[in-house]
Structure 1
């Protein structure tokens, strides 16, 4: 009888232990923004091969270890950036994202800091092996990742501009690496910058009260509701104008032409939703824009495959 009871307790202990370890693992993935890093890695590979890399064939690209090394450093830096950002935003996230914060609580904050230091040092170490210029590129990237989380995330307008710029920084690096400078690439970068900026501002409208409590000076809690709507709608209209410019002036074709044409209607839909300005419409706008960014990556992939065949 006692042996059966002990066996049952041991099984229960093992189950609790496994659940605890699994929760720690999931908590780390969420804390490091792993899924965002995975999406950005996919986007970076697609844009590098099909947009920036105009000359190399697929075989050369696969064996271009320098490019893979740069992308690997980028992934590590993004993961490290996600960790340091959640470290500084922990109290705010506790109110805005209680479920995620609860899962992250299975890991002590000091272990997140250890992971941040490990990922940052590993990234810089690999960058140093590639070249001194690549090392400097990632030193700047990591510094602004930390500085954004520490200071700039609380500064009006700079918080949005810095966040979007840091998101696009690796793509800019690849553009410089391949020397791919053209009107089409520039307009596509502006289009993506504007969409990401709209996403970030709309996201701030959903956390307006919490941001105010923790002294995050954002556009929604600094300006009136009317002015915030005007800013978002203005950005959406400018994005529509950039889409039209890409379609009519750059000779863009294939799936990307369909994407930017569809983008005009998506922006009109978002303008309509922002005019409504209920919490539900803002949440819908946020997810529509996020989905459209993902559609853009798929469109670029399909367009690139079509052109390479």
Structure 2
């Protein structure tokens, strides 16, 4: 009888231990924003091969270890940036993201800091082996990742502009690496910048009171609600104008042309949702725009494959 009881307790302990370890693993992935990093990795590979690097064959691209090294360093830097950001926003996230914070609580904050330092050092080590210029590029990237989390995330307008700029910084690096400077690439960068800026501002409207409590000065808690809606609508209208410019003046064809044309209707829907201002509509806008960014990656992939075949 005692033996059965001990076996049951041992199995129960093992089960709890496995659940705890799994929770730690999930907590680390969420803290490091692993899924965001995975999406950005896909976006970097697709844009690098089909947008920035149009003259190189697929075989040559696959064996271009310098490019893979740069993307590897980027991924590690993004993971490290996600960790340091959640470290500084830990108290705020308790209110804004209680479920995520609860999962992250299975890991002590000091281990997140150890992971941040290890990822940053590995990234810089690989960057140094690639070239001194790449090393400097990632030193700047990591500094501003930390500085954004430490200081800039609390400063009006700079918080939104810095966040979006840091998201696009690796793409800028690839553009410089391949020296791909054209009107089409510039307009596509502006298009993506505006969508990400809209997402970030709408996201801030959902955390308005919490941001104000913890000293984050954002557009929604500085301006009146009507003014914030006008800013978002203006950004969406400018994004539509950029889409029209891309369709009519840059010679974009295939799936990308369909993507930018369909985007006009997507942005009209978002404007309608903003005018009918509810919390539920704001969630819809964020998810619609996030999906549209992902759809853009897929459209670029399909358009690139169509052009290569």
Q: Same fold (TM over 0.5)?
A: yes
1:179-218 equivalences in 2 (<5 Å): 179-218=179-218
TM-score of the superposed pair, with normalisation by structure 1: 1.00
Q: Supply the distance in 1 between the matched residues of 2:66 and 2:253 (Cα, whole angstroms).
A: 31
State the superposition RMSD in angstroms. 0.4
Consecutive unaligned residues of structure 1, counting only runs of 5 or more, are none
Consecutive unaligned residues of structure 2, counting only runs of 5 or more, are none
Question: 2:82 matched to which residue of 1?
Answer: 82
Question: 1:25 matched to which residue of 2?
Answer: 25
* Residue deviations 1:37-74 (CA, integer Å, cap 9, x gap): 00000000000000000111000000000000000000
CA drift of 1:227 comes to: 0.5
CA drift of 1:106 comes to: 0.2
Q: Is it true that 1:34 corresponds to 2:34 in the alignment? A: yes
Question: 1:147 matched to which residue of 2?
Answer: 147
Q: Supply the distance in 2 between the matched residues of 1:125 and 1:277 (Cα, whole angstroms).
A: 48
CA drift of 1:277 comes to: 1.1
* Residue deviations 1:189-242 (CA, integer Å, cap 9, x gap): 000000000000000001111101111000000000010011000000000000
Q: Supply the distance in 2 between the matched residues of 1:246 and 1:285 (Cα, whole angstroms).
A: 23
Question: 1:173 matched to which residue of 2?
Answer: 173
1:241-260 equivalences in 2 (<5 Å): 241-260=241-260
Question: 1:261 matched to which residue of 2?
Answer: 261
Question: 1:222 matched to which residue of 2?
Answer: 222
Q: Supply the distance in 1 between the matched residues of 2:47 and 2:10 (Cα, whole angstroms).
A: 52
Question: 2:162 matched to which residue of 1?
Answer: 162
How many aligned positions are there?
Answer: 309
* Residue deviations 1:257-286 (CA, integer Å, cap 9, x gap): 000001111111111000011001111011
Q: Supply the distance in 2 between the matched residues of 1:56 and 1:250 (Cα, whole angstroms).
A: 22
Question: 2:287 matched to which residue of 1?
Answer: 287
TM-score of the superposed pair, with normalisation by structure 2: 1.00
Q: Supply the distance in 2 between the matched residues of 1:26 and 1:200 (Cα, whole angstroms).
A: 25
Secondary structure of 1:180's aligned partner: coil
